[in-house]
Amino acid sequence: MSKEEQTLRIDFDNMLANRIGGLYGITREELETQRVQAAKYFQELMEERSKGSHPFLELPYQKEVADRILKVARQFIGRVEDFVVLGIGGSALGNIALHRVLNPPNYNELKEERKDFPRIHIIDTIDPDIFSGLLRLIKLEKTAFNVISKSGSTVETMAQFLIVRNLLKERLGRNYNRHIIATTDPENGALRQIAQREGYITFDIPKGVGGRFSVLSPVGLLSAAVSGIDINRLLSGAGNMDYRCRSDSLWENPALMNSILQYISYTKGRHISVIMPYSSALEGVAEWFCQLWAESLGKRLSLEGQVVNCGPTPVKALGPKDQHSQLQLYMEGPYNKVITFLAVDKFNSTVGIHDAPEEDLQYLSGHTLGGLMEAERKGTQIALTEAGRPNCTIYLPELSAFHVGELLYMFQLQTVLAGKFFRVNAFDQPGVEAGKINTFALLGRKGFEERKKVLGAFLSRLS
């Protein structure tokens, strides 16, 4: 098979009753019962898409945007030593995922290998120690900051931005604005107004594309391009997955099949959805997926307005590390989990294990670390299957931009389809508002005076 023909593969067999038994596996009849409904939901989604409702699905085809990103990226490559992303949640996790999976491990330390490409720092925290650590590391005059916020008002990102803007002004005077790129809503929000007023380079987060669905927009693509990731291949991979997911038949559409298997598992008591890559590079993708799955599906109200308090709990594990930590629980604990393995057919490096004179270690002779990784993954997969624990495996032929694009696109589509099965709005996040309001009140933001009084009374009862 040629490189171009290779594509992501998914093996669902270990989810099914004929593999793991009828008690915990999904039967053909259960799938058959949902088949017509699944087709209906898929057609509904495509209908909504044709009316422009889900612009994230069109991101693979934004050629002009990709061209402009590459143009702007070239302005910074070779001119700055550090490129810092300021953002949080969906405005950072996609960047982290891309950087970790498509740049070499220890990328920032590989000065020779990186050549002109700057170091990348994605600061999705307001931890003062991390922030001051960053400031000690970089030279402001040799750094560009990409401030990313769809709303343009997220407290963590705006706090980071205010610090950086001030420092840049102090150090660089009137040219400070050349060091800030704002990625935000095309019209609304404080960040958009500031960027326009102060003359930053800006990128739009398209209308209707929410944070956790924005990795293939300028949100994720700019820092990727600045570090030399082939964003056009990433988008082609996403487009290829879009093409593969055009059927309303479960057996032909991996995103639809994944969503229904996860949904049926949930209805049968498998409330925890573990994602377990056997590749450290994919750990960031697993974290990104956890946010996508949790924020999209964890909801109090159904689309019909009933209180449902539903949603699978995503958990990230890492192979083989978590074989020595979580696996005991997955093998023998409650039957409340479904496990998705991420496997890589071919790692970027081959590291042979040296022959051992010690008899007990001779079985390792002639093997590689990649081969050992595969044996451990297969061993774990079979052990779980034999123990009646539902699991499936997504295989990436290699860690390339194309296959990562396929994976990210499939996960996003799968999430929206799962939202239809769960009957929830996959695009909102009302549950995070309460905490935000309390934070604003505690910080004394105008308009939150009443809430401040309530919190004051609450806190005095505690003390």
Query: For the chain, how far is it from start to end, CA to CA, in angstroms?
Result: 68
**What DSSP character marks residue 207?**
T
Torsions phi, psi of 307, nearest 5? -75, 120
In the complex with ligand PA5, the residue whose CB is nearer, 295 or 322, is 295
Q: Half-sphere exposure of residue 304, counting CA atoms within 13 Å on the CB side?
A: 7
Q: Is the dihedral of CA 243, 311, 16, 421 positive or negative?
A: negative
In the complex with ligand PA5, the residue whose CB is nearer, 217 or 340, is 217
Question: How does strand 337-346 pair with strand 391-398?
Answer: parallel
In the complex with ligand PA5, the residue whose CB is nearer, 156 or 322, is 156
Instruction: By CB under 6 A, tell whether 313 contacts ligand PA5.
Output: no
d(CA 179, CA 161): 12
Whole-number minimum distance, CB 165 to ligand PA5, in Å? 16
Binding segment (CB under 6 A) for ligand PA5, from list 149-157, 192-200, 298-306, 397-405: 149-157
d(CA 184, CA 146): 10
In the complex with ligand PA5, the residue whose CB is nearer, 385 or 415, is 415
Active site residues: 295, 324, 436
Query: Which residue number is nearest to ligand PA5 in terms of Cβ?
Result: 211
Burial environment of residue 236 by CB neighbours within 10 A (0 to 12, 13 to 18, 19 or more):
middle
Q: What is the separation of C-alpha 100 from the centre of its chain, rounded to a whole number of angstroms? A: 11
Beta-ladder partners of 276: 341
Lay out the site mask for ligand PA5 across 266-305 (x = CB under 6 A, - = otherwise): -----------------------------x----------
Whole-number minimum distance, CB 90 to ligand PA5, in Å? 3
Among 95, 154, 385, 412, the residue binding ligand PA5 under the rule CB under 6 A is 154
- H helix or E strand, kind and range, residue 276: strand 272-277
In the complex with ligand PA5, the residue whose CB is nearer, 157 or 232, is 157
Site for ligand PA5 in 174-233 (CB under 6 A): 210-212
Among 14, 157, 400, 412, the residue binding ligand PA5 under the rule CB under 6 A is 157
Lay out the site mask for ligand PA5 across 68-107 (x = CB under 6 A, - = otherwise): --------------------xxxx----------------
**What DSSP character marks residue 26?**
B
Torsions phi, psi of 14, nearest 5? -80, 5
Q: For binding to ligand PA5 (CB under 6 A), which residues are involved?
A: 88-91, 149-151, 154, 157, 210-212, 295, 429
